[in-house]
Structure 1
Amino acid sequence: MKIAIVGCGIVGAAIAYTLSQKTDWEITVWDRRTPDKWEATGAALGVLMAVVRTRLKGKHVRLCLESLQCYESIIPQLEALTNIAIPYNRGGIVQLCFNPQDLVYWQKTQAMRQRQGFTLEILNRAQLLKRYPDLSEARQAKNAAVGAIYSPQDRQVDPVICAQALIKAAQLQGVQFIWQTPIQDFRCGSDQRVTYVVTETDVTPVDAVVITAGLDSQLLTAQLQPSLTLQPVLGQALRLKRPDPFAYPYPVVNGGDVHLVPLNAQELWVGATVEFPEEDSLESPQANPALLEQVLGDAIALDPTLATAEILQTWSGLRPRPDGRPAPVIETLASHPNVVLATAHYRNGVLLAPITAVRVQNLLAALLNDPRFIVV
């Protein structure tokens, strides 16, 4: 069986690795970019926030929790196979609370997560400051932190290095990657199955196609119909160097809409903004410097020592958000029975990459009548 994967951010890389690990299919990955340009994957903080979510249950929560568990096995697998050290913070996530009622509200979530097999700790202010004295002055607006929810099982990973490890592991297991080669067309048989992938230089026969190309998925599906409508949402973040080191490893800290993501004893990511296109506009939003300044100000309110931190780097990037439906889109394209969509993860592409790969493998095994590779 010949499988074409179109798009190779972290989701496409995870699919390539998963399929190469468990199948004897011939897998080829195409991407229009160069291997050093990461677009949405490079515009991600890599925070794997699954357990400390306010939503109690449902399909999306289940996907997040399952994918988080996948990371615990996939990271050591990749490191052993590729000899690439993947930065993977096992320090958990501290979700700060600024309203006493929030601590009461989280009790229901804590009970639900316990039934689901996960742990959440509810910390009052004294417990928070004893464990994390660096957060003694954390504020949101004029409100001091009254406590926090600590999620020891949530994680953070470097998205780019993880994607690079996935690609190398897939290559070691026979996957072919073709870079700087956009797909120009799909040729279909009388039953509307895609039979060939067409580039500028080649026409390649295929048995199935996986489209996981972020915002480009809209252009690719437009060739097949029905087209998937996506909205580009921009995010910005900063990389800072603290004036003084903190104990490391240290958890990710979330306060309101801001993440403090430690990278080592002094450096951290701060982000990220969520910037939508103007109403009725088809143009991608442009980075708004004032919103990035606001994120930095909110971060300083959580950790006042960041007021004198050195700004090492800033980045911005676009994330694909499906229009009029929930994210992500993981399904067979209705009009073309051998085309699988695995895209539009919005702000959860890194978190959901492993479980997306498993779901895609199951869809492919079913449509190719190859039950050997269905994962229960």
Structure 2
Amino acid sequence: MKDVTIIGCGVIGAMLAYELSKGKNKSKNNDEFRVTVLEANARPAMVSTSSALGVLMAASSSRARGVLVKLRLASLSKYDRLIAELTDQTQCDILYNRKGILNLYRSPDAETKSRSLSEIRARQGFALQWLEREEVFADFPLWKTDGGLLSPCDRAVHPTQLVNALVEAATQNGVKFLWNTSVNNLEEISSDRIVVTSGLGANALLSPFLQNHPKYAGQDLMQPVGGQALLLHIPNLNLQNVVHIENEDGSDLNIVPLGGDRYWLGATLEFEPKQIPCEANVSLLLDQAIAWCPTFADAEVLETWAGDRPRPLANQSPILGFVPDHPHMLVATGHYRNGVLMAPITAQITKDLLLTGTSDLPWRPFTL
């Protein structure tokens, strides 16, 4: 039996642990895996995952084609079955929105771009529907928009509830989780395979192995990009769909319904991250939302929070595959704003690499 140690228990680490725990997973040498997860914090999903809104926007994402798009769509396609499996096994509550995402625009070329994207997605097996301003107003009379793109295939999931269910299911399946367990040096871990999923924590862990690599020597693997979000109570919004807003300046907002007239609103994008919510950015989020829907002026702010996202500096996002010259070490991190969305497909690719050394899914463009 081979030991696999996963470093980090955010959504990527938890998803991989669950994926490896299902059934009898054997390597090409017919060895089974014994999985242990090491997490520096007292519980899972306390860093990047805790600040995510869980918006699974793949079908209506503006990028039409490419390897990353293929992976995002494949990952989205796994979610309905995944949530059903986890709920059936654990009986955990997982807030999962199947109502789709309504994307709202004020750009004069939004309709042309959206119709072109719809044609491409139709060939990929995902249906999108352009809505004229009057059609949006019929179902969403409170919103000021020139039109919208409805994506019934996209989803949203509560990130920490998802991770808690993954941990519970993996534990039931025999995975061992060690909390309050920091790792400072990967070479101190005696394990047949090591997988680093620890987001920004991967900088310090991987830097000793990249010192002689011209692409990474002397710099961090990833930079922190801050984001802030709000939990709001809005009695008269009556929203069931996730709403994604594209502002004229290229920034965007997500409004995620949570039930009980509560909504998440986020997030800002800050390349000089702050450790605590900044009041100016709280006001900015609300002002932007009010400009699209005046009802947000009546919102009660229940909670604010801030978090950092791991953005690769010399790689495209995410970073997958083997650590150079160390075939027993793998990395699955740096998902930036798409960690929750890409967790299922990342887990599948990493599992394939552990079992066979390669994967039929496109992973090589994301290697170190």
Task: Decide: shared fold, TM above 0.5.
Answer: yes
Q: Which residue of 2 aligns with 1:250?
A: 241
Listed one character per residue, the Cα deviations across residues 123-167 of structure 1 (whole Å, up to 9, x for unaligned) are 0011111122232xx2xxxxxx11100100000000000000000
Structure 1 counterpart of 2:205: 220
User: Alignment partner of 2:231: what SS?
Assistant: strand
Match of 1:238 in 2: 230
- The whole-number CA distance in structure 2 between the counterparts of 1:287 and 1:251 is 23
Question: Helix, strand or coil for the counterpart of 1:103?
Answer: helix
- Number of the residue aligned with 2:291: 301
Which residue of structure 2 lines up, in the alignment, with residue 190 of structure 1? none
C-alpha separation in 2, matches of 1:222 and 1:104 = 45
320, 328, 347: which one pairs with 1:338? Answer: 328
CA positional deviation for 1:289: 2.6
2:320–2:330 CA contact under 8 A, matched in 1: yes
Query: Any conservation in 1 of the 2:118–2:128 contact (CA below 8 Å)?
Result: yes
Equivalent residue for 2:15?
14
Q: What is the identity, as a one-letter code, of the residue corresponding to 1:309?
A: A
Q: Which runs of 5+ in 2 are unaligned?
A: 26-31, 362-368
Residue 345 of structure 2 aligns with an amino acid whose one-letter code is I
Q: CA deviation at 1:355?
A: 0.6
Amino acid of the residue matched to residue 265 of structure 2? V
Q: Is the 8 A contact 1:246 1:265 kept in 2?
A: no
Task: Provide the C-alpha distance between the structure 1 equivalents of 2:276 and 2:233, rounded to a whole number of angstroms.
Answer: 26
SS of residue matched to 1:4: strand
Match of 1:170 in 2: 170
2:149 corresponds to which residue? 149
Report the number of matched residues. 342
Query: 1:91·1:252 contact (CA, 8 Å) conserved in 2?
Result: no
Q: What's the counterpart of residue 364 of structure 2?
A: none
Amino acid at match of 1:62: K
Q: Any idea what SS the aligned residue of 1:263 has?
A: strand
- Residues of 2 paired with 1:175 and 1:167: CA distance? 8
Give how far 1:100 is off.
Answer: 3.4
Checking the alignment, whether the CA contact within 8 Å between 1:234 and 1:287 is kept in structure 2 is no
Deviation (angstroms), 1:284: 6.3
Q: CA deviation at 1:245?
A: 5.2
Query: Which segment drifts farther, 257-266 or 342-351?
Result: 257-266
TM-score, structure 1 normalization: 0.87
Alignment of 1:120-159 (within 5 A): 120-135=128-143, 138=144, 145-159=145-159
1:112 maps to 120
Quote the residue 2:62 is aligned against.
Answer: 54
Residue equivalent to 1:266:
261
Q: Deviations over 1:42-100 (max 9, x none)?
A: 10110001011111110111111011011111000000010002000011111112133
In the alignment, the residues of structure 1 paired with residue 38 and residue 292 of structure 2 have an alpha-carbon distance, to the nearest angstrom, of 43
Asked if the contact 2:11–2:45 (Cα under 8 Å) also holds between the matched residues in 1, the reply is no
AA matched with 1:184: N
**Counterpart of 2:170 in structure 1: which amino acid?**
A
Matched position secondary structure for 2:326: coil
Amino acid at match of 1:217: A
Find the aligned partners of 2:278 and 2:315 in 1 and give their Cα distance. 27
- The residue type paired with residue 232 of structure 1 is P
Q: Where do 1:58-97 residues align within 5 Å?
A: 58-97=66-105
Q: 1:301 to 1:94 in 2, by over 3 A?
A: same
Q: Deviations over 1:168-215 (max 9, x none)?
A: 00000000000101113233xxxxxxxx60xxxxxxx31111000010
> Unmatched 5+ residue regions in structure 1?
139-144, 188-195, 198-204, 278-282
Residue 142 of structure 1 aligns with which residue? Answer: none
Instruction: Write the mapping of 1:203-214 to structure 2, written as runs, cut at 5 A.
Output: 205-214=190-199
Of all paired residues, the percent bearing the same amino acid is 37
Q: What secondary structure does 1:134 align onto? A: coil
2:137 alignment partner, SS class: helix
Structure 2 partner of 1:201: none
Match of 1:161 in 2: 161
Over 6 Å off, 4+ runs: 283-286
SS of 1:338's partner is strand
Q: Secondary structure at the match of 2:48?
A: helix
Residues 184 and 101 (structure 1), Cα distance of their counterparts in 2 relative to 1, 3 Å cut: closer
Of the candidates 308, 311, 318, which is equivalent to residue 318 of structure 1? 308
Judging changes above 3 Å, is the alpha-carbon distance between structure 1 residues 93 and 165 closer, same or farther for their aligned structure 2 residues?
same
How big is the shift at 1:271? 0.7
Contact 1:233 1:284 in 2 (8 A): no
Displacement after TM superposition at 1:36 (Å):
5.9
Alpha-carbon distance in structure 2 between the residues aligned to 1:263 and 1:309: 14
